[in-house]
Amino acid sequence: MARVFSGIQPSGELHIGNYLGAVQNWVQLQHQHDCLFCIVDLHAVTQAYEPATLAQRTTDMAIGLLAAGLDPERCIVFVQSHVPEHSELNWLLTIVTPLGELERQTQFKDKAQRQASVPAGLLNYPVLQAADVLLYKATLVPVGEDQLQHLELMREIARRWNGRFGEGFFPQPQAHLSTAKRVLGLDGQVKMSKSLGNTISLFDTPDTIWEKLRPAATDPARKTRKDPGTPQLCNVFTIHQGFSPPETQAHVARQCRTAGWGCLDCKRVLADNMIATLTPIRERAQQLQARRVTDVLRAGAAKARALARQTIAEVRQRMGFLAGAEAS
Ligand code: AMP
Ligand code: TRP
């Protein structure tokens, strides 16, 4: 059994990009491995945010994850800021993290570009992410493609720490990608992302799903109904791969390549399959009570913290700190 760790920001909305790129995998992995799934609120505050809504967005994300199929009997679901050891390990890892590597991170450059004043926390973001995973000595990290560079840096940080303080202490975590590792937004231009407003939410109603899917971008080669297309170049096909059974995917691909179907035909089939998957998720979310969610997160943090403390104790010892003031 591998130890699995992944995180998601409390954006307040779980969209089908998160779901197909990551969360759907998490639901599978909890049956085979020892899994921790974390709502990373400390990461979320590295960008402009509204303090008044952070707690609610965190609860909403927890509701989304549980409704999507994470089972607290099978995995640990918790909130990052509830386990202060994340922040401690973050600090201890900064001393082996090369500044140049942080400055080279694509996500940092993208986000920094959009800000007049760049907070140091944004630069440090990948160090905190490394702390998240290494704190539990996790080896498998199910994420979308956008996280690969952060994973590579995480391995570098682990290697450097090990080289200095204890060979073999931290494992080298590997990414675990899904087939839909990069879902584009409905505009077909850039990655689907809440901040870009190009998403379909896991909680959209059937009518909304169809309203959003109908005008969604497809393979640009299909200018008219008669032009054949290439499924691999079509974002709608990527979404089919997440929601439709293999026979349907094969059929849709054939109809696209031969122009047997128009894009609207293809989208109708997809909408039906999406609605079939998402309706039970939406209904489960509506039934989940706030009390139950609080209880799940509290229990999750206690379990995570017990593991985190063991690692931190060893890290402190190997780094040579004076013993005596450990958390009781
Ligand atoms: P975030 O919402 O940025 O915290 O992302 C949570 C998880 O969803 C990460 O593993 C991301 O890689 C994944 N993810 C986010 N957006 C997409 C997307 N458009 N396509 C595929 N995976 C995604
Ligand atoms: N940076 C990730 C994202 O935006 C979220 C994240 C934080 C994460 N810590 C993590 C993902 C640890 C995997 C493992 O999607």
User: Is residue 325's pLDDT more than 70?
Assistant: no
pLDDT band at 328 (very low <50, low <70, confident <90, very high): low
Catalytic residue selected from 137, 191, 212, 303:
191
Across the beta sheet with 3-8, what order do the strands follow? 75-79, 34-39, 3-8, 140-142, 174-176
C-alpha of residue 37 to centroid of ligand 2, in Å: 10
Average pLDDT over every residue of 270-285: 96
Q: Is 267 a catalytic residue?
A: no
Region 236-252: mean pLDDT is 95
**181 is an active site residue:** no
The ligand whose atoms approach the alpha carbon of 235 most closely is: 1
Report pLDDT digits (tens) over 29-87.
999 999 999 999 999 999 999 999 999 999 999 999 999 999 999 999 999 999 999 99
Residues with Cβ within 8 Å of 203's Cβ and at least 6 positions away in sequence, in order, are 13, 14, 64, 278, 281, 282, 285
Give domain 3-183+289-319's CATH number out of 3.20.20.70, 3.40.50.620, 3.30.70.1230, 3.30.310.10.
3.40.50.620
Rounded distance between C-alpha atoms, residue 103 and residue 127, angstroms:
12
Q: Is 191 in the pocket of ligand 1 (CB under 6 A)?
A: yes
Predicted confidence (pLDDT) at residue 326 exceeds the cutoff of 70: no
Top CATH class, 203-285: mainly alpha
Q: Which residue has the higher pLDDT, 194 or 129?
A: 129
Instruction: Tell me the percentage of the chain whose pLDDT exceeds 70.
Output: 99
Q: What is the pLDDT of residues 6-18, one digit of tens each?
A: 999 998 789 999 9
18 alpha carbon to ligand 1 midpoint, in Å?
Answer: 4
Distance CA 201, CA 194 (A): 9
* pLDDT at residue 231 tops 60: yes
Q: What is the pLDDT of the chain when averaged over all its residues? A: 95
Is the pLDDT at 324 greater than 90, yes or no? no
Q: Which residues line ligand 2 (CB under 6 A)?
A: 5-7, 9, 40, 43, 129, 132-133, 141, 143, 147
Letter for the amino acid at 104?
R
- For residue 196, what pLDDT is reported? 87
Residue 144 token pair: 């979308």
pTM exceeding the 0.85 threshold for the entire prediction: yes
Q: Among residues 203, 181, 184, which one has the least CA distance to residue 192? A: 184
Give residue 87 CA to ligand 2 midpoint distance, Å.
15
Per-domain residue ranges for the chain?
Answer: 3-183+289-319, 203-285
